[in-house]
Amino acid sequence: MTMTVVADALKKRGFRVTAPRIRIFNVLQKASYPMSVQEVKMGTKGVDTVTVYRTLEAFKRVGLVAQVDLQLGRALYELKEGKSDHHHIVCVSCKKIEDFTGCDYQPIAQQALKQSKGFTKIINHSLELFGLCTLCATK
């Protein structure tokens, strides 16, 4: 995902391409794990926390970023990039996060829709695994 892709994605939706948005994008791109708002702010120095919140929200709306909930008491965010659907394993003890790929959720979504009275379409899903990492498991 190049920067022109970002610019285009933003423009296409009526968003302007600004310095804070570019910086935030770059921070996310370097990260190897989903980041909290505070972490993103740390990485950009100079960009206000509120701007990080608003930018991540904008990125989410244009589909550049995914919000991840790992039961840590705050939301995390990561670039979707070209990467297919991937998810996470989290150590419930030390909070270590690993990615994994290969979530075939379509059958589950189909079954859910079949049961549902009020929904006819799924537009997104979250799937996270929780465990003990080998390090914490030995303690």
* Token pair belonging to 133: 């990492």
The vertex-7 CA angle with 2 and 13, nearest 5°, equals 130
**Window 43 to 82, contacts with Mn ion (CB under 5 A):** 78
Q: Give yes or no for residue 126 binding a copy of itself (CB under 8 A).
A: yes
Q: Which amino acid is at 60?
A: K
**Window 70 to 109, contacts with a copy of itself (CB under 8 A):** 70-71, 73, 75, 87, 89, 91-92, 96, 98, 100-105, 107-109
* Token pair belonging to 74: 């705050």
Q: Give yes or no for residue 74 binding DNA (CB under 7 A).
A: yes
Q: Residue from 25, 28, 35, 55 that binds DNA (CB under 7 A)?
A: 55
Place of tokens 């465990």: 131
Element (H, E) at 56: helix 49-61
Q: Give yes or no for residue 20 binding a copy of itself (CB under 8 A).
A: no
